[in-house]
């Protein structure tokens, strides 16, 4: 899944928000957006941020646009954090904004795009991932007038969205880079913790069926408990908080901030939005280069399931990389730390669509391990 708004905000708060200050903002409005279940929203607002400038090729079309898709509970600011942006967006870096036009949408149900907490509460259309991707496509094509993307990068929920882009709009992007995700329907432990998190909110008497006057604190605190465990790394937390007192101090601070930042209805909707996800059977439609990266310490996308290795073989031009657990990985949120994996993104952007047939793993070193399937 997932980067919770609370988790993303805590990371972002660790240093100055200089990239956000540089970004330009906009909102694209869609009239009478039709959702997959047949419901319609008269006005759907899709907020976004951009860095860099569009470049037009000889044919007059924009040729340097990159779409970056955030995780569950995140926002268009999720990637504008130093451990990501400072490593990727500067001069000579893989997504140098002097050369690329970077687009960061707020997905439906998130931040400044239309969402339940705007007023409809539990009467907001019950969107799913397909709706979110169709809205992103409308933003890119009709709102920003971009008919082709250089790259779609997505992490967690955004990674799943990248796969949906690949099967729904084949060839729209030159390459895909889904991180921290799988391609099969969400089930097993992954679905269990989502279900428990949603039930924690619904079972709080203060929720009042979504018509609460103040947040259901007990439910949100329990939900945040689960988010913290699901998105973290045991090695990383042990290193950062080696004593009981340090651990309890951090946990209290994290949970207090989470309760303030998360809206209960919004959370219910974005956790439920994955219910119909499952592009596995259509992966053969994806023929462009794919860089798929997961981390071995990811609780949500457990490597022992062996799913990604098998699923990558359904695509003719996919490279799956499993990052081994090191002192530099951060569990599910390793995608936020671009220094760990930026070399693979650089290699992807140099590829011209030729299938990659390499396979390597060096278990004796601390270098990143790579499994390549084609």
pLDDT, tens digit, 9 for 90 and up, residues 66-123 = 999 999 999 999 999 999 999 999 999 999 999 999 999 999 999 999 999 999 999 9
Provide the percentage of residues in the chain whose pLDDT is more than 70.
90
- What distance in Å separates the CA atoms of residue 171 and residue 214, rounded to the nearest whole number? 46
252 and 170 within one domain: no
68 and 124 within one domain: yes
156 and 87 within one domain: yes
Task: Please give the pLDDT value at position 331.
Answer: 96
The structure tokens listed for 349 are: 């952007």
140 and 99 within one domain: yes
Structural domain containing residue 260: 189-273
295 and 282 within one domain: yes
135 and 111 within one domain: yes
Residue 371 domain-assigned?
Answer: no
Residue 359 has pLDDT above 60, yes or no: no
Residue 358 has pLDDT above 80, yes or no: no
- What distance in Å separates the CA atoms of residue 113 and residue 311, rounded to the nearest whole number? 32
Give the residue-averaged pLDDT of 318-328: 96
210 and 331 within one domain: no
Task: Kindly list the distances between the CA atom of residue 57 and the CA atoms of 50, 54, 63, 64, 288, in Å, as whole numbers in the listed order.
Answer: 19, 10, 6, 9, 21
Task: Please give the pLDDT value at position 163.
Answer: 98
- What distance in Å separates the CA atoms of residue 259 and residue 101, rounded to the nearest whole number? 35
Residue 354 has pLDDT above 70, yes or no: no
Other C-beta atoms closer than 10 Å to the C-beta of 10 total: 16
Query: In total, how many domains does the chain have?
Result: 2
With residues binned 3-state (H G I as helix, E B as strand, rest as coil), the percentages for the chain, rounded to 5, are: 45, 15, 40
172 and 201 within one domain: no
149 and 77 within one domain: yes
Q: Which of 77, 104, 73 is nearest to 13 (CA)?
A: 77
148 and 84 within one domain: yes
* C-alpha dihedral (206, 212, 215, 216), degrees to nearest 10: 20
Residue 2: pLDDT band by 50, 70, 90 thresholds? very low
Enumerate the H helices of the chain as residue ranges.
Answer: 5-12, 18-22, 82-88, 129-138, 157-168, 188-202, 217-231, 234-240, 244-261, 264-272, 307-312, 342-350
pLDDT tens, position by position, 200-251: 999 999 999 999 998 899 999 999 999 999 999 999 999 999 999 999 999 9
Residue 9: pLDDT band by 50, 70, 90 thresholds? very low
Residue 352: pLDDT band by 50, 70, 90 thresholds? low
Contact 58, 71 (CB under 8 A): no
């Amino acid at each position: 899944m997932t980067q919770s708004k609370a988790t993303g905000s805590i990371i972002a708060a660790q240093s100055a928000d200089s990239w956000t200050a540089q970004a330009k903002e906009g909102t694209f409005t869609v009239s009478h957006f039709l959702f997959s279940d047949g419901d319609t929203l008269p006005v759907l607002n899709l907020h976004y941020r951009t860095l860099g400038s569009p470049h037009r090729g000889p044919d007059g079309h924009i040729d340097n646009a990159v779409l970056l898709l955030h995780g569950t509970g995140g926002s268009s600011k999720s990637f504008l954090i130093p451990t990501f942006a400072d490593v990727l967006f500067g001069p000579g870096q893989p997504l140098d904004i002097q050369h690329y036009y970077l687009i960061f949408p707020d997905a439906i149900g998130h931040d400044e795009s239309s969402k339940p907490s705007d007023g409809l509460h539990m009467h907001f259309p019950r969107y799913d991932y397909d709706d979110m991707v169709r809205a992103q496509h409308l933003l890119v094509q009709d709102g920003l007038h971009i008919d082709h993307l250089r790259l779609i990068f997505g992490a967690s929920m955004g990674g799943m969205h990248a796969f949906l882009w690949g099967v729904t709009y084949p060839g729209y992007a030159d390459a895909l880079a889904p991180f921290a995700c799988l391609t099969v329907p969400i089930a097993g432990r992954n679905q269990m913790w989502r279900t428990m998190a949603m039930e924690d909110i619904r079972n709080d008497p203060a929720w009042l069926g979504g018509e609460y006057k103040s947040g259901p604190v007990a439910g949100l605190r329990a939900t945040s408990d689960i988010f913290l465990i699901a998105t973290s790394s045991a090695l990383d937390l042990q290193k950062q908080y080696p004593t009981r007192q340090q651990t309890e101090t951090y946990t209290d601070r994290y949970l207090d901030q989470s309760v303030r930042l998360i809206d209960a209805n919004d959370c219910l909707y974005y956790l439920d939005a994955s219910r119909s996800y499952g592009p596995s059977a259509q992966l053969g439609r994806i023929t462009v280069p794919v860089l798929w990266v997961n981390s071995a310490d990811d609780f949500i996308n457990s490597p022992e399931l062996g799913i990604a290795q098998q699923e990558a073989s359904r695509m003719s031009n996919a490279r799956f990389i499993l990052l081994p657990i090191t002192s530099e990985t951060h569990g599910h949120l390793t995608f936020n730390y671009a220094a760990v994996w930026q070399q693979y993104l650089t290699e992807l952007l140099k590829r011209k669509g030729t299938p990659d047939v390499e396979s390597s793993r060096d278990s004796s070193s601390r270098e990143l391990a790579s499994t390549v399937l084609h």
